[in-house]
Structure 1
Amino acid sequence: MRKIFFTLVAMTLLSFNASADESKEAAIRAALSSLNSQVPIVAVADAQFPGLYEVTLASGEKLYVNESGSHFIVGEVYKVQADGRLVNLTEEGKKAGRIEQLASIAPEDMIIFPAKGETKAHMTVFTDTDCFYCRKLHKEMAQINAQGIEVRYLAFPRAGAGSKTQKVMDSIWCADKADQAELFTQAKSGRTIPALSCDNSPVMSQYELGQKMGVTGTPALVLQDGTLVPGYMPAAQLAKMLGVTN
């Protein structure tokens, strides 16, 4: 939590959303800015429980602040349902933002493996060409597609800029669109692919988007309702989670 806090106070202040009462929002802004003038607030809104406001930061993280801005909480907030189940309100609040962020990505910047027959569901996968479980998931692509699930791949080279994986992924995304899926599958199989580079590669911008959305490892699955599921999941289990099978 301390690491998150120091990350927050190191970034750049952005604009506000006037969804909270203006005077209270101004107080929150002033208090957080006095703590550090570069706290990157994107929006302030009423929290889903009384007494606090939800502050969304440019990183996608959320703070929960009192109306004067004198106290705030960094972390996840849960609600206990009447049946005893716990609902992660922080995660629920991030889903709509993820859907909006993914909708801004042009299909031609994704590597898409379409469903066989009727498309019943889709998911977006942040992936690395080298990770074991990324390769394991891709080996099941035929099964996943056969269930009516479309898979949309985005790049997430875990080692970051300048890494071998980033260069491999640049080679895939810079290739002719008609060749990308085959090159992607070859790379996932451990085969060497022709080295390519281009000025408009979306690989690192997709990596940065994944970080903002809370991706910390690969594969990371974003379901069509905005739920972020970290890690590998077998095809049959994916189909159940997406509501394609019982």
Structure 2
Amino acid sequence: MKPFLRFLSLACAVLLLGAQAANAQEAQIRKALAERIPQLAQIDEVSATPMQGLYEVRIGTDLYYTDAGGNYLIQGELIDTKARRNLTEDRVNKLTAIDFKSLPLDDAFKVVHGKGERQLVVFEDPNCGYCKRFEKDMQKVDNVTMHVFLYPILSPDSAEKSRNIWCAKDRAAAWQDHMLRDVTPATASCDMKALERNLQLGRKYKITGTPTLIFTDGSRVPGAIAAAEVERRMNELAVAKK
């Protein structure tokens, strides 16, 4: 056998053995955790972390850490002190990212500030106090189009107000009157299927609170962050795009 072919054959064998060892390690961790903690029987993924001997255990978007034998379980954050990065946060952000282009924007209405060149999606409930605070703070942000998905999850009254806003002649005006000036939207009726789809979409992406912001890179932020933070994130995206 020629030297190169011999080397190639050896490399393939090493890779195969490595994959087999990784599979055996994963199986051992799954078995140990399932036997000792029945709630962890449905593990989606087991993978090695940058820390030697520590493995990530993923169930949906929930992350845990364990040793090679599944003897210990850690629930917390893994920090790379050298790189000064929260590896757990980075991983969760990747797992919860949403393809911005796939969002059904026809089921949202637009609130445009200035030229509206920058894009932002927000899931909001008309009865959400944090949403009202966020909307008022967003008046400081220029040149953005906010795609507002009505997401009535707080109370039956939320559904009624969402219906009246969605069915208003000018949805954006009715929304801002309510959120900024506490004007109760006038009673209206129309096709409500968009709101039903919004609830299904939220459940699909496990959106459990309002407001939830989604930026054009797919990253999402739960909660009413300050306008300055929104501005910072959108500026970073604009720089990355160039």
Corresponding position of 1:208: 203
SS at match of 2:172: helix
Corresponding position of 2:176: 185
CA distance in 2, matches of 1:118, 1:179: 18
1:77 to partner: Cα distance: 1.9
CA distance in 1, matches of 2:216, 2:92: 13
Corresponding position of 2:162: 169
Question: Are residues 1:106 and 2:104 paired?
Answer: yes
- Over aligned residues, Cα RMSD in angstroms? 3.6
Do the aligned partners of 1:155 and 1:203 also contact (CA within 8 Å) in 2?
yes
- The one-letter amino acid of 1:81's match is K
Q: Which has the higher helix share?
A: 2
1:92 to partner: Cα distance: 0.6
CA distance in 1, matches of 2:69, 2:163: 47
Question: Are residues 1:238 and 2:230 paired?
Answer: yes
Do the aligned partners of 1:126 and 1:154 also contact (CA within 8 Å) in 2?
yes
Q: Normalised by the size of structure 2, how large is the TM-score?
A: 0.68
* Distance change in 2, residues 1:170/1:237 (3 Å): same
Do the aligned partners of 2:113 and 2:145 also contact (CA within 8 Å) in 1?
yes
Do the aligned partners of 2:121 and 2:215 also contact (CA within 8 Å) in 1?
yes
Corresponding position of 1:54: 56
Corresponding position of 1:68: 69
Percent identity, please. Answer: 23
CA distance in 2, matches of 1:179, 1:32: 55
CA distance in 2, matches of 1:165, 1:242: 30
Corresponding position of 2:85: 87
1:192 to partner: Cα distance: 2.7
State how many pairs are aligned: 213
Structure 2: gaps (5+ residues): 1-18
Which of 228, 232, 244 is residue 221 of structure 2 equivalent to? 228
Q: Normalised by the size of structure 1, how large is the TM-score?
A: 0.67
CA distance in 2, matches of 1:77, 1:96: 15
Do the aligned partners of 1:156 and 1:206 also contact (CA within 8 Å) in 2?
no
* Distance change in 2, residues 1:111/1:181 (3 Å): same
* Distance change in 2, residues 1:101/1:168 (3 Å): farther
1:74 to partner: Cα distance: 1.4
Per-residue displacement from partner, 1:3-52 (whole Å, max 9, x unpaired)? xxxxxxxxxxxxxxx9x922222222222322216644222222232222
1:62 to partner: Cα distance: 0.7
1:118 to partner: Cα distance: 6.5
CA distance in 2, matches of 1:75, 1:21: 24
SS at match of 1:242: helix
* Distance change in 2, residues 1:95/1:138 (3 Å): same
Per-residue displacement from partner, 1:75-122 (whole Å, max 9, x unpaired)? 22222136xxx4221111122222236555322233343564373x43
Q: Pairwise mapping of residues 119-158 of structure 1 onto structure 2 (< 5 A)? A: 119=117, 121-141=118-138, 143-144=140-141, 146=142, 148-157=143-152
- The one-letter amino acid of 1:124's match is V
* Distance change in 2, residues 1:95/1:29 (3 Å): same
* Distance change in 2, residues 1:155/1:198 (3 Å): closer
